[in-house]
Amino acid sequence: MLRQISEDVRVNLKDRLREVRDAIRQNRHDGAGDALREATSHLPPFPGKGIEGLLSHAASAVDDALSLAESLVPHERPAKVDGTTVKSLRSYFPAGDKDPLGGERLFRRDMYYLAKTVLGELKVSDVRIHEANFAAVHAAMRKRHADLLAALAGSNPAEQLAPVAAATAALLLEFLSQRPIRFSEAPVDMPAGVHGIALDIRCLAPLALACGLATVATDGSSEPDMLEIAVLATNVRHDRILQAFAKADPMSELTGVFAALLAHLP
């Protein structure tokens, strides 16, 4: 119990520190403040302009110091984030309660960096990714969908499509419930006005599908382009996934959508 509390505190602290770091970076004298200075250049000079300059230089110095500190501290960050970063659902949710904290730690770390990669592909900015919410997704899967996870452990390769599709659907629903990604603007290639659950699905469905693909991989390993495939496939089927989510039984509807994708994707 104490170990779990300590882990929860650590994860929430990391999220808060990331938010502070983002705020510092937005106030660098040589960075994000340029757009603000250009937009307000026509206004009368602010009496505290010199103070603003000092503060922005201080923010730059703090940011540089934090960057140096990060380079000296060992990280759990993957050396390269691509399709090989994705693990099987059996790795994230080991059977028989084998090292559940290890599975959670692996899950939220991988999902955090995979989410950053997907957001980059979709050109989404002004975003916050919360590891604590990924930890909540992991806990919800173990609590609410234990039967689906157990079915994964007992399925052989010839019969695993249905249980993997169901677990993938459940994972997307928990993603949408916990909302580990918080953003305020849509990707540049999305139609104007597309926000809310549609954007959540656009960003989170690739993570769920990638986990499903890694789980049904015949040799048990992920391919470098697996994440790219998941992004492209969920983009093509975005409307169908959105429609399935809106149905009276989204779990069943989404299971059907993912079963079709898992059956036909490499």
Q: What is the pLDDT, as a whole number, of residue 165? A: 97
Structure confidence at residue 108 (pLDDT): 93
pLDDT at 15 over 70: no
Residue 18 has pLDDT above 70, yes or no: no
Domain locations in the chain?
2-72, 83-264
Q: How far apart are CA 28 and CA 79, in angstroms?
A: 28
Residues pairing with 127 in the sheet: 183
What average pLDDT does the segment 242-252 reach? 96
| Percent of the chain's residues with pLDDT above 90 | 50
In whole angstroms, give the CA distance from residue 125 to residue 105: 26
pLDDT at res. 191: 47
Asked if residue 201 lies in contact with residue 176, where contact means CB atoms within 8 angstroms, the answer is: yes
| Residue 22 pLDDT | 57
Beta-bridged to residue 181, according to DSSP, are 129
Residue 181: helix, strand or coil by DSSP?
strand
In terms of pLDDT, which residue wins out, 32 or 257? Answer: 257
Cα dihedral across residues 7, 12, 14, 17: positive or negative = negative
Q: What is the pTM of this model?
A: 0.74
Tokens in use for 159? 């019969």
Q: What is the pLDDT of residues 84-141, one digit of tens each?
A: 999 999 999 998 766 668 899 999 999 999 999 999 998 887 788 999 999 999 999 9
List the beta bridge partners of residue 182. Answer: 128
Tokens of 4: 């779990």
Q: What is the pLDDT of residues 171-196, one digit of tens each?
A: 999 999 999 998 765 454 554 444 57
pLDDT at 35: 44
Per the listing, tokens 């989204």 go with 250
pLDDT value of position 26: 56
**What pLDDT score does 10 carry?**
59
Q: For all residues of the chain together, what is the average pLDDT?
A: 78
Task: Tell me how far apart the alpha carbons of residues 64 and 56 are, in angstroms, rounded to a whole number.
Answer: 12
